[in-house]
Structure 1
Amino acid sequence: MNTKSAFLKMVLFTLLSGTSFAQQTHWRFDFGAEKGLKGYVHVLPETSFESNGQYGFDFGSVVQAVKYSGKKAFPGSGIKSKKPFYFSAAVPEGNYRVTLTMGDANDATASTVKAESRRLMLAEVKTKQGEFVTKTFIVNIKNRNIAAGQMVALKPRELTKLDWDDKLTLEFDGHTVLKTMELTKVDDQITVFLAGNSTVVNQDDEPWASWGQMIPRFFKPGVAIANHAESGLTLGSFIGSRRLSKILSIMKPGDYLFIEFGHNDQKEKGAHDGAYQSYTERLKTFVAETRKKGGIPVIVTSTSRRSFDQEGKIQNTLGDFPDAARKVAAAENVALIDLNAMTTSLFNAMGEVQSKKAFVHYPANRYPGQDKALADNTHFNPFGAYEIARCVVLGIQQQKLGLVKYLINDLPTFDPAQPDDPMSWRWPESPKSSLIKPDGN
C-alpha cells in the first residue's frame, strides 16, 4: 500500500470512529507461540491488527516468541522484539484498565510502556531473570462524536493521530517481554480532562513532547487523564472547534478540567481581545460550564518560554496573561497551579545553556532528514515535558486537590529550583520523528 492510500485509509478509519463494528469492551490476551492461559485470546507473533481488524501487532511491528520453562504460573510463552513494538485492540470510547504481565524466565527485563500518542504509562519497570510482574494503569480512549450529531473539528494533522482513532494502542520500549494483557472498560474512574495548546497536547512524534503526555505516569488506577489539548489553540478556538462541548458531553460530577492557555491567546489583536478582556471572560466561561456539570475546574498558568535577559534570568514573554489567569482563579475561587512561576524557577535553575536540554534543541543530523539544527524555545522535548509534569503534580499537592490520594506511592519529592539531571534521565525514543514544529509559538 502506498503512502497516499495508507493515509486515506487512516482518515476513513478515523472518520468512522465510534461507529465501527468493534464494540467489545473487555479483552484478555495471551502472547507467544504456545497457548498458555485458559479464557484468554491466544495471540501469535504474526497476528497483525491490519489483517485482523480487532486486535494484533500494529504499524509493522516484528516480534518473536520467548519460551518459558519451569514456570507453572505462566505456562506457554511470551513475546519480545529487538525494536519498539505496538499492539492495538479495537474498543469504543471510555476509560480502560490495562493490566500487563511482563518478565522473562531466561533474562532480566526493563520495560517502558506508552499509550496512544506517546503517553507515558510505565517507566523502566525492571525484572530479574525468572521474575514476573503485573502492572495496572488507566488509558482514556476518546472519539470525535458529540451529542446531536456534532463532532469535534479536528485539524488535518490530527486525523492520523493515535489519540483520535477507534482503537487502544500500546507501545512497548526497552527490553520488554510481554506475557499477558487484559483491557477492561471501567466507569468508576475520576477523569482529569486537559484543555490547552502545544505545551499540553500529546505529541505524536519525537523529539516533541508536552506535560500532558507525561503526567499519566504519576497516577495510580482511580484516575484517567483525558488530554483534549491541541497545538496552536486559544481559549476561543478550543471552544470554536467544539472541544469544550465534547468534554462537557462526557464529564461526570467529580471529574476535573485543567485549563492552560495563553501562548496563542496573546497573539489575538481584536478590539475586545487581551488578557483582561476576552481571555478573562473565556476563562470564566470554562469555569462556569465545568461547574454546571458538577466538575472541578483548575486554572494553570502558561509555561514560561526559554527567553533569558542580559543578566541570565528568564524574562516574561507572556505579558499580562499569567496575571489574568491568577486573578480569575482568585475571583472565581478556583484552584490555581502557577506553572508559569514554577517553570520560571525551573529554567533559571537550569541556566541558559543547560535549559536547552529541556527544549527541542538538537544539532543537525540527530533525526532522519534533519540537515539543520533544531532550536525551539517554546516546545519541550521528553525530558522537559517530564519536568513540567512534575511541576503540575507539585501544584496538585500544594492545592490539596482530591487527586492527591491517587498519586503513585513511590512519588519522589520535587523542587523546581532543583531540577533532575537530564543526563541521568532515560527515555526510549519512539520510532516516529518529525522536523515540523507544532502549531503555535
Structure 2
Amino acid sequence: MKFSALFITVLLMCCSVKAQQPSYKFDFGNERPTKGYISIGEGSNYTEELGYGFTNGSQVKAFDRGGNTLTGDFITSDKPFYFSVKLPDGNYDVKVILGDAKGTSATTVRTECRRLMLENIKTAKGKIATQNFTVYVKDSLIRDVSGKVISKVRLKPRESEYLHWDNMLTIEFNDSLPKVCAVEITPNKTATTIFLAGNSTVVDQSREPWASWGQMIPRFFVPGKIAVANYAESGEALNSFLSAKRLEKILSVMKPGDYLFIEFGHNDMKQKGEGIGAFTSYKKNLQRYISEVKKKGGIPVLVTSMHRRRFDSTGHIVNTLEDYPDAVRQTAKEENVALIDLNAMSKILYEAWGPEKSIKAFVHYPANTFPGQTTKLEDNTHFNTYGAYELAKCIITGIRHQNLPLAKLIKKDVPVFDPAKPLAFEKFYWPMSSFVTATKPDGN
C-alpha cells in the first residue's frame, strides 16, 4: 500500500493543487449501519478503490447487542487489529467510540508506527466511552505554497515498510479486550504541530521491542490542540537529515507558532574530518536549523542527547557523548532558544535505576524472547517501550521547566515527573503490537 514509482512520477510531474483533507464516519459492526456512517464489518478489508478498511492481516469479529445502531454493535479481536484510511498530509482529529452495551472492554490505541495515543481505556459492563486524539499524517513529497510537488524526501530502503510514509492513517487497536463501535476522522486546521527532528532515539520505531520517546509523547497532550509530527529516522545526524531533505519537508508544512524539537548527537559524534566537531560543524548546523525555523515563524527547541547506558564502578553514568551536549547548551544560550536538557535528566534517571534495573529499560533480552530472535539482544543505546515512556516523561518535564506555552496543553492527568523517581518496571503496561524484529536500528 505504498506509492508506486509510477504514481510518484505522475505526482511530481502534474500535482499542482493540495489534496483536500476529507472527513469520515465509520460504524463498526456487521449489522444496522447508522445513518451518515460507513459500515465496517468483518469483511471490510482495505482496497485502493475504497481507500479504507482493515489491514496488516487483521482478524476481527463483529458482535451485535441490539439497541442503539451506533453503540449497540462493535468489532473486536483477541489480537491487535489495524484499520487504515487513505488521507493526504495534515493533522486530523480522531474520535473513537469504545465499549460493549452488554460487557466490558479494555482498549489501547496507537497510530502509524506504534505511536501511542490512548492507553488502557477500560469500560465497565454496559458502558460506552468516547475518546479523542489528534494525529499527524505525512507523505514524502515536498510541495511549494501552491501545492505543486517540487521535490521528495530521500527515504532509506527500510522506510518502505513504515506505516508513516504510506499516505494513509493506520490505527492500531490493541489490549486485552478491545471493542470498537465507531471511528470518526475530521481535519484539524488549527492545532499546533510539534515537529521532531532526530535519530533512532526519537523516531517512531516500527517494531517491537524497540521504542523511542518520540512515539510516546503524543499520549500526553490535549487532543485537538497539539499534533506530534515525527520526522526522525534511525542513523541520522544533523547534516544527513538536511541532505535527505527531511528538514526541507518539515519547513514546507510548518505554520507560524509550530515547534521543532531538535535532538541529535549520537551519530554526529562519530563523524571525522577537518572542521568536524561539537563546537564547529555540529554547532553551525544547529544554528542553521534554528534560523530556518524562525524564518517560518516557528519555535525551535533544542534537546540534548540522552546518555548511553554505561556505568562506572561506583554506579555513576559515564559520558560517552563527549562535548556534544555542551555544544547544544551553549547554542541554546547564545541563540536564546529553549533547551530541554535530556542529557542531564537521563543521568539522574539511569542512576536512579542503577546498573541492574536500568537493563529493564533498554533492549536487553535473552535469545528466543521474540520470534526469529536466535541470539540475545544487548543494546545500551536503544530503549524498549518502558524506557522510551520514561524518557518521554523527561521531555514533558523539560517542557514544564522551560515554561513553554505547550505546558498548558499537557493533559491534566499527567503528573509532575521526577527523573530520580521513575515508575517501577513491574508497574508499566504495554500490550505488544504485531510487528517484531531482532534487527537493531541504525546508529549507536
**TM superposition score normalised by structure 2:** 0.94
- 1:149 match: 150
Give the match's secondary structure for 2:4.
Answer: helix
Give the match's secondary structure for 2:161.
Answer: coil
- 1:374 match: 377
Deviation digits for residues 268-289 of structure 1 (CA, Å, limit 9, x no counterpart) = 1110110000000000001111
CA distance 1:17–1:173, change in 2 (3 Å): farther
**1:82 deviation in Å?**
1.1
Give the match's secondary structure for 2:326.
Answer: helix
Whether 1:115 and 2:115 are equivalent positions in the alignment is no
**1:324 deviation in Å?**
0.4
**1:160 deviation in Å?**
1.6
What's the RMSD between the two structures over aligned residues?
A: 1.8
**1:35 deviation in Å?**
2.1
Query: Which one of the candidate residues 359, 363, 370 is aligned to 1:360?
Result: 363
CA distance 1:364–1:226, change in 2 (3 Å): same
- 1:186 match: 188
- 1:199 match: 201
Asked if 2 retains the 8 angstrom alpha-carbon contact of 1:17 and 1:143, the reply is no
Asked if 1 retains the 8 angstrom alpha-carbon contact of 2:71 and 2:182, the reply is no
Whether 1:134 and 2:138 are equivalent positions in the alignment is no
Matches within 5 A, 1:227-306: 227-306=230-309
Deviates more, 1:13-22 or 1:369-378: 13-22
Deviation digits for residues 79-138 of structure 1 (CA, Å, limit 9, x no counterpart) = 101110000011111001000000012221111000000000000011001000111111
- 2:214 match: 212
Give the match's secondary structure for 1:61.
Answer: coil
Quote the sequence identity (%). Answer: 51
* CA distance in structure 1 between the aligned counterparts of 2:44 and 2:68, rounded to whole angstroms: 25
Whether 1:81 and 2:98 are equivalent positions in the alignment is no
CA distance 1:23–1:56, change in 2 (3 Å): farther
CA distance 1:80–1:288, change in 2 (3 Å): same
* CA distance in structure 1 between the aligned counterparts of 2:71 and 2:415, rounded to whole angstroms: 36
Letter of the structure 1 residue corresponding to residue 242 of structure 2: I
Letter of the structure 1 residue corresponding to residue 156 of structure 2: K
- 1:25 match: 22
- 1:177 match: 179
* CA distance in structure 2 between the aligned counterparts of 1:348 and 1:249, rounded to whole angstroms: 41
Deviation digits for residues 185-236 of structure 1 (CA, Å, limit 9, x no counterpart) = 1110100000000000000000000000000000112000000000000000
Deviation digits for residues 341-372 of structure 1 (CA, Å, limit 9, x no counterpart) = 00111000000010011100011110011121
Deviation digits for residues 153-185 of structure 1 (CA, Å, limit 9, x no counterpart) = 001111121010011000000111000100111
Q: Any gaps of 5 or more consecutive residues in structure 1?
A: 1-8
Query: Which one of the candidate residues 30, 42, 46 is aligned to 1:45?
Result: 42
Letter of the structure 1 residue corresponding to residue 83 of structure 2: F
Deviates more, 1:408-417 or 1:225-234: 408-417
- 1:35 match: 32
* CA distance in structure 1 between the aligned counterparts of 2:318 and 2:122, rounded to whole angstroms: 41
Aligned residues: 432
* CA distance in structure 2 between the aligned counterparts of 1:330 and 1:214, rounded to whole angstroms: 28
* CA distance in structure 1 between the aligned counterparts of 2:96 and 2:294, rounded to whole angstroms: 36
Give the match's secondary structure for 2:442.
Answer: coil
- 1:419 match: 422
Asked if 1 retains the 8 angstrom alpha-carbon contact of 2:21 and 2:90, the reply is no
* CA distance in structure 2 between the aligned counterparts of 1:33 and 1:364, rounded to whole angstroms: 42
Query: Which one of the candidate residues 4, 18, 32 is aligned to 1:12?
Result: 4
Asked if 1 retains the 8 angstrom alpha-carbon contact of 2:33 and 2:69, the reply is no
**1:76 deviation in Å?**
4.5
CA distance 1:16–1:28, change in 2 (3 Å): farther
Asked if 2 retains the 8 angstrom alpha-carbon contact of 1:14 and 1:165, the reply is no
**1:310 deviation in Å?**
1.5
- 1:335 match: 338
* CA distance in structure 2 between the aligned counterparts of 1:145 and 1:74, rounded to whole angstroms: 37
* CA distance in structure 2 between the aligned counterparts of 1:207 and 1:286, rounded to whole angstroms: 31
**TM superposition score normalised by structure 1:** 0.95
Whether 1:387 and 2:390 are equivalent positions in the alignment is yes
CA distance 1:23–1:294, change in 2 (3 Å): closer
- 1:5 match: none
Give the match's secondary structure for 1:410.
Answer: coil
CA distance 1:405–1:13, change in 2 (3 Å): farther
* CA distance in structure 2 between the aligned counterparts of 1:349 and 1:398, rounded to whole angstroms: 20
Whether 1:159 and 2:160 are equivalent positions in the alignment is yes
